[in-house]
Amino acid sequence: MPATIGTGSGESGTQTATGPPSPSTSVEHRMQAEIDSWMGTPYVYGGTTKYGVDCSAFTQAVYRSIDIDIPRRASRQAVAAETVSRGNLRYGDIVFFNTSGSGISHCGIYLGNGEFVHASSSRGVVRDLLNHPYYATRFVQGGRFL
């Protein structure tokens, strides 16, 4: 059965997808369990808890759950990570976007099959499609810490 996921920043409606592949390694399983525990958490700029989180605190928390320390800000995460092209993304890579018009300002975690999870400023922690026009036109690069 297809999964229903969000359509992008601030838009109503849904898109359907077949869903990402299941995690295959113990690290991926640990990451997915942490991701699942954050789903639905509200967005709060500067937030770092399950009462409210922003995009880079969410990615930082997921990586912390697998004992990898990454920087707090999206722009610094992008600099610290190994750069990955969109076509070479793997489960757990961080995806970076320019949503402000002035460099990397948003991030999420790639799940596979074109899906990623992120803390949306309008919808909290949700899954979305990289090929949604809002994200496709703002994608800058992927980053790998695994």
Catalytic residues: 55, 106, 118
- With CA atoms as reference, report the closest residue to 67 among 119, 29, 110, 31: 31
Q: What is the rounded end-to-end Cα distance, in angstroms, of the chain? A: 30
Kind plus residue range of the DSSP H or E element containing 55: helix 55-64
Give the tokens for residue 33.
């369990």
For residues 108 and 48, what is the distance between their CA atoms, to the nearest angstrom?
Answer: 15
Are the beta carbons of 113 and 18 closer than 8 angstroms?
yes
